[in-house]
């Protein structure tokens, strides 16, 4: 019987003619191939910067980082105790990063499958510290990875006016696009840098093939793809849209933090940003523009961006991999629908939110009460494994929304307020810390908003 005691990195290849990167991995029983194809802005879109040739060392260095990150989708099929990096030399710092990436990025996967990844070992040839690949970008031309939700929309609004050379990298499957991304992307007016990600089809047959299944740190992979796109287009920054609460664990089990959003956390951002700087030099920055912000701060800013209110759609079912099962409207019942409705309720008129949700606003449906209670932490260890804010943000949203005159008869909202206790409903108590900048960030001065520059001084 073939052994599943190791997962292997089998190499990667660049194809300049096809503008593609192909990555190869294997287990004892299966071989996997993942392919990325890069399409810089075109078709009349503005693209004023010079391109980098595919044989440039910086392109290969960036592609190597993506190759290291992308293996996680195939490692999870067996969760082998050893990772064999093949003939790819790596430094101790790179192996430390990669091991931490697998253990923490797959913490939810391990928790749900009853696995312990703490003993994971990495094997492969030792590399001397490599010289930084020479990379000289054109300043002021950031890439802003765009998912179509309120976070990335607010980042675009905050960055694009002062940096007209910005573009949006959008990752999608071959021959397919997500309307929930493309529709708000069109509203921004910015050019789109498209990346086609072709996942090995065997992964879609996990149950049939007996693979383990579960959540992977896909945001890390998308960030790696954006770095490759940025280098190909000679851009100086990859600007993420991950707010402060993305660093808050979803659950703590026996003292161990499990964070569904780990690849959106400050910990990952800092580790990967340092790795990029050590590979390509300090001229390219990888950072989140929203890192010191709360979800309530983001929601308040988004409420003012009325041009996006009818085009954005963060519902989980808008991103189903099977197009036939993909919704072209908000479902009104998933955790993400409930969370988005809740954080916008303090800042948008009730009839405006009803229009956003096409008449199926989650707060108007008593059947959603249990989902809201999980968001508020009213049920122990029931926070959804989703990209949602932390308990304090959700509770503050209830307090603030309940004070709106147009929410006086929103039954679910006031039931939630009663469950929290009206005595703590003073909006001044909850507003101040959640609307102020908090924690650390890695935003370079050239991209920092004015309030953070003043705070830094």
Is 315 found in the same domain as 236?
no
The mean-pLDDT minimum among 68-77, 123-132, 370-379 falls in 123-132
Which residues have CB under 8 Å from 346's CB, separation 6+? 296, 299, 300, 397, 400, 401, 403, 404
Q: Which domain holds residue 35?
A: 6-288
The answer to whether 123 touches 82, Cβ cutoff 8 Å, is yes
pLDDT over 60 at 428, yes or no: no
Q: Does some domain include residue 451?
A: no
Is 159 found in the same domain as 17?
yes
Is 352 found in the same domain as 253?
no
pLDDT over 80 at 380, yes or no: no
What pLDDT is attached to residue 341? 97
The mean-pLDDT minimum among 80-84, 230-234, 377-381, 442-446 falls in 377-381
Tens-digit pLDDT profile for residues 383-396: 899 999 999 999 99
Task: Spell 123-151 as b/e; 16+ CB within 10 A means b.
Answer: ebeeeeeeebbebebeebbbbbbbbbbbb
Percentage of the residues of the chain whose pLDDT score is greater than 90: 81
Q: Does some domain include residue 443?
A: no
Q: Does some domain include residue 454?
A: no
What pLDDT is attached to residue 135? 93
- Residue 7, classified by CB atoms within 10 Å of its CB into exposed (0-12), middle (13-18) or buried (19+), is buried
Which residues are 172's β-sheet partners? 196
Is 266 found in the same domain as 391?
no
* Banded model confidence at residue 424, pLDDT cuts 50, 70, 90: low
Residue 144: phi and psi, rounded to 5, are: -120, 95
What average pLDDT does the segment 250-279 reach? 95
Tens-digit pLDDT profile for residues 45-71: 455 556 788 999 999 999 999 999 999
What pLDDT is attached to residue 258? 95
Question: Cα separation of 390 and 247, whole Å?
Answer: 9
> ∠ CA 181-185-190 to the nearest 5 degrees?
150
What pLDDT is attached to residue 381? 73
4 vs 253, which has greater pLDDT? Answer: 253
pLDDT over 90 at 318, yes or no: no
Domain boundary among 288, 313, 330: 288
Side-chain-side CA neighbours of 435 within 13 Å: the count stands at: 13
Question: Cα separation of 102 and 9, whole Å?
Answer: 14
Tens-digit pLDDT profile for residues 95-128: 999 999 999 999 999 999 999 999 999 999 998 8
What pLDDT is attached to residue 317? 85
Is 140 found in the same domain as 97?
yes
Is 228 found in the same domain as 168?
yes
Q: Does some domain include residue 449?
A: no
* Banded model confidence at residue 1, pLDDT cuts 50, 70, 90: very low
Is 314 found in the same domain as 221?
no
Beta strand 121-123 with 285-288 is unpaired
What is the chain's Cα-based Rg?
Answer: 22
Q: Does some domain include residue 445?
A: no
Is 301 found in the same domain as 277?
no
What pLDDT is attached to residue 425? 47
Which spans in 304-364 are helix H? 335-344, 350-356
* Banded model confidence at residue 89, pLDDT cuts 50, 70, 90: very high
Please give the mean pLDDT across all residues of the chain: 92
Q: Does some domain include residue 441?
A: no
What pLDDT is attached to residue 44? 42
Per the structure, how many domains does the chain have?
2
* Banded model confidence at residue 457, pLDDT cuts 50, 70, 90: very low
Terminal C-alpha separation, the chain: 63
Domain boundary among 222, 255, 288: 288
Is 50 found in the same domain as 195?
yes
Q: Does some domain include residue 332?
A: yes
The answer to whether 452 touches 291, Cβ cutoff 8 Å, is no
pLDDT over 80 at 456, yes or no: no
Is 171 found in the same domain as 122?
yes
Specify the pTM: 0.94
Is 306 found in the same domain as 278?
no
- Three-state SS at 39: strand
What pLDDT is attached to residue 431? 59
pLDDT over 80 at 131, yes or no: no
Q: What is the largest CA-CA distance in the chain?
A: 68
Is 181 found in the same domain as 306?
no
* Banded model confidence at residue 319, pLDDT cuts 50, 70, 90: confident
Question: Cα separation of 197 and 407, whole Å?
Answer: 43
Q: Does some domain include residue 244?
A: yes
């Amino acid at each position: 019987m073939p052994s599943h005691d190791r997962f292997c990195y089998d190499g990667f290849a660049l194809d300049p003619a096809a503008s593609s990167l192909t990555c190869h991995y294997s287990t004892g029983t299966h071989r996997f191939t993942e392919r990325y194809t890069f399409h810089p802005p075109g078709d009349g879109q503005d693209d004023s910067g010079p391109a980098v040739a595919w044989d440039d060392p910086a392109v290969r260095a960036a592609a190597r980082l993506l190759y290291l990150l992308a293996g996680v989708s195939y490692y999870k099929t067996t969760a082998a105790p050893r990772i064999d990096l093949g003939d790819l030399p790596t430094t101790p710092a790179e192996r430390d990063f990669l091991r931490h990436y697998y253990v923490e990025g797959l913490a939810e996967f391990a928790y749900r499958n009853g696995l312990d990844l703490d003993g994971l070992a990495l094997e492969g040839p030792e590399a001397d510290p490599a010289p930084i690949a020479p990379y000289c970008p054109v300043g002021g031309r950031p890439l802003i990875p765009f998912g179509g939700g309120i976070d990335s929309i607010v980042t675009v609004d905050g960055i694009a006016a002062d940096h007209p050379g910005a573009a949006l990298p959008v990752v999608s499957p071959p021959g397919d696009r997500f309307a929930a991304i493309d529709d708000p992307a069109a509203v921004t007016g910015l050019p789109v840098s498209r990346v086609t990600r072709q996942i090995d089809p065997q992964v879609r047959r996990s149950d049939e093939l007996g693979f383990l299944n579960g959540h992977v740190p896909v945001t890390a992979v998308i960030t790696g793809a954006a770095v490759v796109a940025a280098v190909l287009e000679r851009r100086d920054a990859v600007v993420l849209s991950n707010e402060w609460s993305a660093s808050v664990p979803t659950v703590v089990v026996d003292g161990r933090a499990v964070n569904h959003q780990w690849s959106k956390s400050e910990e990952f951002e800092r580790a990967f940003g340092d790795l990029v700087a050590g590979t390509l030099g300090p001229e390219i920055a990888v950072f989140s523009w929203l890192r010191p912000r709360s979800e309530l701060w983001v929601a308040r800013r988004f409420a003012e961006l009325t041009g996006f209110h009818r085009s954005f759609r963060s519902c989980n079912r808008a991103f189903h991999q099977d197009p036939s099962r993909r919704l072209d409207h908000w479902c009104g019942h998933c955790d993400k629908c409930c969370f988005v409705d809740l954080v916008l309720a303090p800042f948008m008129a009730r009839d405006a939110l009803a229009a956003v949700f096409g008449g199926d606003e989650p707060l108007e449906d008593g059947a959603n009460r249990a989902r809201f209670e999980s968001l508020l932490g009213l049920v122990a260890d029931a926070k959804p494994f989703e990209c949602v804010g932390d308990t304090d943000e959700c509770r503050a949203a209830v307090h603030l929304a309940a004070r709106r005159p147009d929410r006086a008869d929103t039954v679910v909202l006031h039931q939630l307020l009663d469950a929290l206790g009206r005595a703590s409903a003073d909006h001044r108590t909850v507003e101040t810390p959640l609307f102020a900048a908090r924690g650390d960030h890695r935003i370079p001065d050239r991209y920092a908003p004015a309030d953070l520059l003043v705070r830094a001084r």
